[in-house]
Amino acid sequence: MRKRIRLSLQRLIGNFFDGIFSSYLHAPHGLELDELRRYQPGDDFRSIDWKTTARTGKLHVRIKLVDKRVTIFFLVDRSRSEKFGSLVNTKEDIQSSVLSLLVYAASETGNEIGFVTFTDKVESYIQPKAGAKEALKNIKIILLKTPSSNYTDLNTAFRFLNEQSHFPSLVFILSDFLAPYNYKQSLKTLSYYHEVIPIIISDRMETNLPDAKGFLSVQDIETGIIKSLDISTALEKSAPYLALFRKLNIDYLTLSTGEDEEIWIKKISEFFDKRIRRGGRRRR
């Protein structure tokens, strides 16, 4: 499954940045074999695998990955709300596991990996570099560093990356998106120049409330403030960021602390596969 994610990620990059380079070709030896499959309308005739075709009696094509590299950024929310978890795992636990998996998959194929960690300020910035060992070492550095703030401001992170990166990149955002809704313009700008994939890490207690009327006392994990929550109306409105993603044609992935590793790895793999089948970048 992990190998499948690595291959899917590389294919995904090719589809995203099709205007910069072609993701597939009928190539000589030396490039990694992606898949051997039945011929489909639109496939290049030069990619036909004649041995398999002769053996099966049906046209098959041999698809290989182009040896191209892109820059991938990981925006990692390090605010205090990431430490919440009503079950065994916290959101931070899931975030760390997903980050390690994606970074390993991306760096193994030679892409340059950069990191931005943030709270309501930019906590750390590591410029994009190639190399799996370097990338995995940087993960440990950013996750072991104690954040200087408890709060969240996504707008700060988006604006920072908009200023730092001027070439098309793939941007993963790992956050619960429980933050002030002040990033509409900065996310719009980010998604215009880059391919953005938000990975929303949530907990069931944030959305599952008793089916009843009345008030519930809750404490904001970031501010410590205790508020009274009207149970009957608390979940009537959908999260504003979901509406913004739809408006900007941004595909997103939602993972939960109640899911085990097998489930969220499967969800990531299926997300990549679905995105590949649809083709290149959506029009903004």
Mean pLDDT of 69-94: 90
pLDDT at position 55 over 80:
yes
Residue 118 contacts by C-beta under 8 Å, 6 or more apart in sequence? Answer: 75, 76, 77, 78, 79, 152, 153, 154, 156, 157, 160
CA distance linking residue 251 with residue 134, whole number of Å: 29
Residue with the bigger pLDDT between 213 and 191: it is 191
CA distance linking residue 112 with residue 188, whole number of Å: 24
State the architecture of 71-258 in CATH terms: 3-Layer(aba) Sandwich (3.40)
* SS3 per-residue string spanning 78-135: CCHHHHCCCCCCCHHHHHHHHHHHHHHHHHHCCCEEEEEEECCCEEEEEEEECCHHHH
pLDDT at position 91 over 90:
yes
* pLDDT value of residue 22: 37
* pLDDT value of residue 177: 95
pLDDT digits (tens, 9 = 90+) for 9-46: 777 776 665 543 333 333 333 345 556 778 877 677 77
Lowest mean pLDDT among 57-66, 137-146, 209-218, 264-273: 209-218
* pLDDT value of residue 20: 37
* pLDDT value of residue 24: 37
pLDDT digits (tens, 9 = 90+) for 149-207: 999 999 999 999 999 977 889 999 999 999 999 999 999 999 999 999 999 999 887 76
Looking at the chain, the domain(s) classified CATH 3.40.50.410 span 71-258
Query: Which H or E run contains 20?
Result: none
Mean pLDDT of the chain: 81
* pLDDT value of residue 34: 59
